[in-house]
Amino acid sequence: MSLAGARHVEVMAAMNDFPVGATTLHLAPEDVWKRAAGAESYVPDAFAADGFVHCTNGDENLIAVGNRYYTADPRPFLALTIAIDRLTAPIRYDDPARTFPHIYGPVNRAAIVAMRTVIRDGDGEFIAIANDEVALQ
């Protein structure tokens, strides 16, 4: 089997962990997202160190992640919605609760289907995801 064929099998096997039409969320600093404009794929800054793209299932969990890791970061953040069945990179759960999937490769633009603004208070706390969804695909 070719390398491309083996990669496709790996991607498809991992996708079996997710229902058809499932999405996940990625918390992205707005400036990092804008820097990737026009690129074929999105790669967050932490990808080089982590080797995967962190994702989160559910708005409440995404807010909790923001408060756990990014309250000291003053930048505006976005919630990117990723359609799992459109990914070209493997995705899998590495946590027993199956809440935080990891994408093991760049996120192809066709998989990022929407974005919303993340609302923060004056102290940097993440409080909600705005109802301002912008469809990207």
Which DSSP string corresponds to 32-45? HHHHTTT-SEE--T
Domain that residue 69 falls in = 3-135
Domain containing 54 — which CATH number? 3.20.170.20
The pLDDT value recorded for residue 6 is 45
* CA gap 137, 123 in Å, rounded: 34
With vertex at residue 23, the alpha carbon angle to CA 102 and CA 108, rounded to the nearest 5 degrees, is 65
Count of domains for the chain: 1
The pLDDT value recorded for residue 12 is 47
Buried b (16+ CB within 10 A) or exposed e, 66-87: beeebeeeeeebbbbbbbbeeb
Which amino acid belongs to residue 90? P
pLDDT along the chain (137 residues), means of 10: 49 66 97 94 95 98 98 98 97 95 97 98 97 90
Q: Give this prediction's pTM.
A: 0.87
